[in-house]
Amino acid sequence: MTWRVWAPKVKRVELVLIDGDRRRNVPMRSEGDGYFAHSEGGVPEGQRYAYRLGGGAERPDPCSRWQPDGVHRPSAVVFPGKFVWTDQGWRGVPREDLVFYELHVGTFTAEGTFDAIIPRLPELLDLGVTAIEIMPVAQFPGARNWGYDGVHLFAPQDTYGGPEGLRRLVNACHACGLAAVLDVVYNHLGPEGNYAGEFGPYYSDRYRTAWGAALNYDGPGSDGVRDFVLDNVRHWVEEYHLDGLRLDATQSIFDVSPAHITREIKEEADRAAGPFGRPLHVIAESLLNDVRIVLPPQQGGYGLDAEWNEDFHHALIAFLTGERHGKYVDYGPAADLPRVLEKTFVLDGRYSRHRGRRWGAPARDVPGDRFVVGVQNHDHVGNRARGERLAALVGPPVQRLAASLMLLSPHLPFLFMGEEYGETNPFLFFCSFGDRGLVEAVRRGRKNDYALQGEVPDPQATLSFTASRLSWTWSDQLPRAGLRHLYRDLLAARRRWPALKDFVTRRAAPSRFSERPGVGVRSRHRTELPVRVPELVRGPAPAADGCATGGAHALQFGAARLQRRAAGGRRVPGVVPVRVPCVRPRTGVILRPVTTRSRDPA
């Protein structure tokens, strides 16, 4: 067993081996360039250890793989090779087939653990999800946190189940046919339990993020910081068999080096995944509306697999809800919807009132499967004052419209846990810091940073965490069951219809079929069909106008069919189903909100 640590700020480092109250201090040998090492045999798994820098206080390992006693306490030895993987036949999911499902481990189930997620995986697979996206799990202070305050980037959160729990979850995902993507934070480290700065120049003296000091990727001593992050990328791929990484807030990863660190992250991830014989997806959260993130290095880009397109969400929500505060001031007209479907960005060099300057650049001919779009995510919901989900803001017809636009769009769909059945429990911002001064700063910040409207729940309160748990119920509730059927059937359409696999040929325009606003989405064959908030019905379609029925599908208005599906196929009194002609696999649809002739609970 060899310990190795980068600590260029000091001239000597001691390894402290801990057995209960007993300490054994071992001087580490210098390897040059700020690295110190020590080798020793007979080390048991779980052995606690720490470092003493220049004779100072004990500090946990910045590269600790396990923090079973929290962020401030000593680290523990773990042997990843002891885990027995059974995913040798797993070949991953191609980028064009990715359907993301974002979940927060602590609130996805009542238990709040990696293991508790596993029994729900078959239901996600049945829904049509192909990849779970796990919010950050790097060890954070306490037991309640979104994960973006992690300080031990190599150590899965101990209250979630630690290293072995995460391995069991990924192994189970692969066993049932799901990819596992992890959200990682490489722009900053959390504010509590963070001792990296005592070891080396981890932080930039030129840049800052909205959450504190930026990591140092291009200043003096940055080579060691870059190695630290690239080691972390390799760690997640090799030791946890992950299928992808989502890079948080890449607009706050500052680097003017000839090879941007995000490009090196992608290259390192591909090298690590090579022996597994499957694709490794690196996806960027970027608010810049800049396609350089996905362009190949030969074209001056960073070569990542995909980037988030927040314009889709902002345009859709501003149109559906009428909200115009903060970032939504730049969106709202119905014409924005066909624009994001066909052109990808609304702000593609246009003036942004929110930012007070022009923003973004055209997406040009970059295909749609290089962009991830969603109706909701943790930020969209949790950065509202009361954490309201879309189901708490709009009625069922509008929820169906939003789902249809997202799931039938020529982009990669992204679901936030619970949206598929209209979860109404909030997703609040929560934390469990131990530093009282930090707690008060977070409370003030929540009210100021996002210009939140109304009373903001206390992020430190346990109730903010427990109130955010999913109810995970839909079978006996018609609105929820119906919405879930819609998600499942439209995701089935994405798999079966050739037009929905075409991410290159995109045409969208305002509907002229009636005076009611709508959006027409046309495929390669440019055939349009006026359908309002459709639900795909599996199986042969009724013949109409000479259409061949083999392999075709029927679309029906949302509420009536959804109600009958939720009621086990029984007709619901007062609800009249409306049939439309059969739809060839390469056609378009017109989407607009609609209600049935009766009250519409679906």
Active site residues: 248, 285
Instruction: Provide CB contacts within 8 A for 444, sequence distance 6+.
Output: none
Q: CB burial class (10 A; 0-12, 13-18, 19+) of residue 126? A: exposed
Q: Is 98 within 8 Å of 412 (Cβ atoms)? A: yes
Backbone angles phi, psi at 193, to 5 degrees: 80, 20
Contact 555, 589 (CB under 8 A): yes
Name all contacts of 164-167 with Cβ < 8 Å and 24+ positions apart.
164/83, 165/113, 165/114, 165/115, 166/114, 166/137, 166/240, 167/80, 167/83, 167/85, 167/240, 167/241
What tokens does 266 get? Answer: 């992608």
Furthest CA-CA distance within the chain: 85
69: amino acid identity, one letter: D
Distance (Å, rounded) from C-alpha 279 to C-alpha 269?
A: 10
- CA dist list (Å): 530 to 160, 511, 519, 589: 48, 8, 9, 6
522 backbone dihedrals φ, ψ, rounded to 5°: -110, 145
- Classify the C-alpha dihedral 415-143-242-87 as positive or negative: negative
Burial environment of residue 167 by CB neighbours within 10 A (0 to 12, 13 to 18, 19 or more): buried
Decide: helix, strand or coil at residue 264.
helix
Strands 412-416 and 100-103: parallel
Cα gap 66→138, rounded to integer Å: 10
Token pair in block for residue 492? 């089935």
Cβ(532)–Cβ(543) under 8 Å?
no
CA atoms within 13 A on the CB side of 345: 23
- Taking a C-beta distance cutoff of 8 angstroms, is the pair 213, 188 a contact? yes
Cα separations in angstroms, 118 against 97, 113, 121 = 22, 9, 5
Rg (CA), the chain: 25
Residue 502: name the closest of 523, 521, 525 by CA: 523
Among 544, 561, 557, 560, smallest CA distance to 589 is for 557
Of the candidates 204, 193, 248, 210, the one whose C-alpha atom is nearest the C-alpha of residue 226 is 204
